[in-house]
Amino acid sequence: MEKRNRHEFPATFSDQKRYVGLPLDELIIYLPLGVLAIFINAWVFSPTLGAAVIGIRYLKRGKGSSYLLNLAYWFLPTTLMRFFISVLPESFKRHWVA
What's the rounded Cα separation, in Å, for the pair 66 and 56? 11
In a domain, 46, yes or no: yes
- How much is the pLDDT for 32? 93
Q: Give CA 69 to chain center in angstroms.
A: 5
Question: Is there a domain that residue 2 lies in?
Answer: no
Q: Is residue 87 part of a domain?
A: yes
pLDDT of residue 83: 76
Range of the domain at 82: 17-93
**What are residue 19's DSSP bridge partners?**
22
pLDDT digits over 42-85, tens only? 999 999 999 999 998 898 888 877 788 788 888 888 887 777 67
Task: Report how many domains make up the chain.
Answer: 1
Q: Is 51 exposed, middle or buried (0-12, 13-18, 19+ CB in 10 A)?
A: exposed
pLDDT at 24: 79
State pTM to two decimals: 0.63
Position 78 in a domain? yes
| pLDDT score, position 4 | 62
Q: Is residue 10 situated within a structural domain? A: no
Within a domain: 82: yes
For 24-37, write each residue's pLDDT tens digit: 778 888 999 999 99
Higher per-residue confidence, 14 vs 56 = 56
* Residue at 98 is within a domain: no
State residue 11's pLDDT score. Answer: 67
